Amino acid sequence: MASSLKSLSQYTDKNLLDISTKKFGIVVSEWNDQVTGSLYTAAVETLLKHGAKKENIFKKNVPGSFELTLGAQWLAEIEEIDAVICLGCVIQGETRHFDFICDAVAHGITNVSLKYNKPVIFGVLTPDTMQQALDRSGGKHGNKGDEAAITAVKMLGF
């Protein structure tokens, strides 16, 4: 369902796993940091709300969304990390750069998840405009950071 039809911050929290001992790695793109900073804040708040301990949440910054994949791999290699959340924002521009980056990041994150057999969550916005990004990072469509965090929690309980 399109995020314009449903808030990214609305989810069911039924039957969630106890995550008080789980460790989360969060990789955050520095590109579009106004957006990614908001995604990160929401993800951490959601994890804490559902029982994660602050000392069990590890943040690593990468320059851009393309680098999320390697950052995720480095965190996934750490045996103690139970789930990795990737947060980024790639805004459509005038060239095909957007297509190449989004495709590479989506495939890369999926591959890291499969390689390490642990949840590696795609929390990357791919809007057409900065306004759409703001709307999905705490604006009128909720926050993709909330969605990414609860997805990690739910996948750990699978």
**CA–CA distance, 3 with 82 (Å, rounded to integer):** 27
135, two tokens: 């709307």
State yes or no: 136 annotated in a binding site.
yes
Confirm if 87 and 37 have CB atoms less than 8 A apart: no
State yes or no: 65 annotated in a binding site.
yes
State yes or no: 122 annotated in a binding site.
yes
Rounded to 5 degrees, what are φ and ψ at 74? -60, -40
Active centre residues (catalytic): 97
State yes or no: 100 annotated in a binding site.
no
In terms of phi and psi (left: phi > 0; alpha: psi -120 to 50; beta: otherwise), the region of 13 is alpha
State yes or no: 91 annotated in a binding site.
yes
State yes or no: 90 annotated in a binding site.
yes
DSSP state, residue 99: H
State yes or no: 67 annotated in a binding site.
yes
Give the helix/strand (H/E) hosting 120.
strand 120-125
Q: Which residues are annotated as a binding site for (2S)-2-hydroxy-3-oxobutyl phosphate?
A: 94-95, 136
Q: Which residues are annotated as a binding site?
A: 31, 65-67, 89-91, 94-95, 122, 136
